[in-house]
Amino acid sequence: MKIYHNPRCSKSRDTLSILEAHGQEAEVIRYLENPPSREELQSILQKLGMQPSELIRKGEKIYKEEYKGKELTEEEWMDAMLTHPKLIERPIVVHQGKAVIGRPPENVKRLFE
């Protein structure tokens, strides 16, 4: 089990707490410090059943300054997330070929119940 985690995010901390409370050990990946590769991000998106544009955090300053109102291809959104990992929605938990976004944090329970 892996969690793409930002310790400054309350939803990310809450999701990690739920995992721990249910005895789930997770590899914690601080994705802002150690961003996923293109291949990892593509794999995550596949497991989520999402397109790159659906994983974008539209409330981020970098989104508002550089991307808001622009028409980008899915490949360009992928490039944006790789360039600015802060744009990646969080937290993401991956387990046994599946993935969920911890918004709300309780979503993570679907992976191990």
**Residues labelled as active-site residues:** 9
DSSP class per residue in 57-111: -TTSHHHHHHTTT----HHHHHHHHHH-GGGB-S-EEEETTEEEE-SSGGGGGGG
Distance CA 61, CA 24 (A): 33
Q: How far is CA 26 from the centre of its chain?
A: 15
Amino acid in the structure at residue 105:
P
Question: What DSSP state is assigned to residue 58?
Answer: T
